[in-house]
Amino acid sequence: MTMTDRENCADILCIGAQKASTSWLHHVLNAHPQTYAFPNMDPVTSTNKEAHYWDWNRKRGPEWYRGLMTPPDPTHLAMDFTPEYSMMSDADIADCKALNPTARVIYVLRDPLARAVSALRMHVLWRNNGANKEDVQINFDDSFLKLIDEARIFDMSSYVANYQRWARQYDDILVLNYEDIVGDPEGVIARVYSHAGLSIEDMPSDARAEFDKRMQKRVWASVPYPVQSDVLYFLHGLLWPKRQAAERFFKTRFEEYADVLRAAI
């Protein structure tokens, strides 16, 4: 098989959500010898995990994307875990389907409030590059609404609408809940490997040892940091309908609201 013979550019697509342990999933999947993570090309890509083709790099063209994603062994499964893909338009998802017709798609959900607070902190850190993490605060001030817009909090939290756009092109999307990753990582990884057509039990001994090592890495919760109560109340009101809609549609439950508040204050 050559580069042009490959059916997909990316064989495994994780479309989000941001701040929902997609990095941990990518790390554990990449322990399998049949998976492939492209080389980091920062700032063109984000580490070896997020290719950002459909948002940052579309201008480079599909052959650039295919070249980036093609493994040295073209039979291996190339991975693109870019959370921003969840917000793509119908037209872009259709183009994605044309380049990746049989890709396995994964979508990870997280309580919208907890995810939003974590994402906003990340954006504040980016704004204040070099600042001490413990000194970073999220305040309800004149720049707050601009920060929400920059971080695309509302769009990223629209789990049902995002899923429905993708489901019009891909009819077998694996939907995961961050709560399950924290509570049952072994069960979640078994589902992910099965969805990708990979076997844990058949891995060579050295790869299995690396897999076991990566599985022991904790899924880190967000470290508590200063968030004004007005920020939390505003985000709660903004995102509560998104939470309720996702719980009904996906038949899942997010963490208790009180626990989200305790983690953020």
Task: Answer yes or no: are the C-beta atoms of 51 and 65 closer than 8 Å.
Answer: yes
What's the pLDDT band for 225 if we cut at 50, 70, 90?
A: low
Helix ranges (DSSP H) in the chain: 22-29, 62-69, 90-99, 112-127, 144-150, 153-156, 159-167, 178-183, 185-196, 205-215, 229-250, 257-264
Tally the residues of the chain. 265
Q: Domain range holding 153?
A: 3-264
Judged against a pLDDT cut of 70, whether residue 234 lies above it is answered with: yes
- Quote the number of domains for the chain: 1
SS3 36: strand
Tokens of 203: 């891995």
CB 79 within 8 A of CB 103: no
* Among the listed residues 56, 83, 78, the one whose alpha carbon sits nearest the alpha carbon of residue 67: 78
Residue 163 CA: distances (Å) to CA of 72, 167, 195, 243: 32, 6, 17, 14
Q: Which residue in the block uniquely carries the two structure tokens 């600042």? A: 131
**What is the 3-state composition of the chain as percent helix, strand, coil, each rounded to the nearest 5?**
50, 10, 40
With a cut of 60, say whether residue 221 has pLDDT above it.
no
Dig out the tokens for 178 from the structure.
């961050």
Residue 186: band (very low, low, confident or very high) from pLDDT cuts 50, 70, 90: very high
Q: Are 25 and 108 in contact (CB under 8 A)?
A: yes
Give the pLDDT confidence score for residue 121 in this predicted structure.
85
Whole-number pLDDT of residue 133: 61
* pLDDT class of 259 with cuts at 50, 70, 90: low
CATH number at residue 16: 3.40.50.300
pLDDT at 256: 72
Nearest to 16 by CA among 146, 95, 94, 106: 106
User: In angstroms, rounded to a whole number, what is the distance separating the alpha carbons of residues 136 and 21?
Assistant: 22
* pLDDT computed for residue 84 by the predictor: 97
| Global pTM value | 0.93
Closest alpha carbon to 105 in 199, 15, 165: 15
Mean pLDDT of the chain: 91
Contact 228, 139 (CB under 8 A): yes
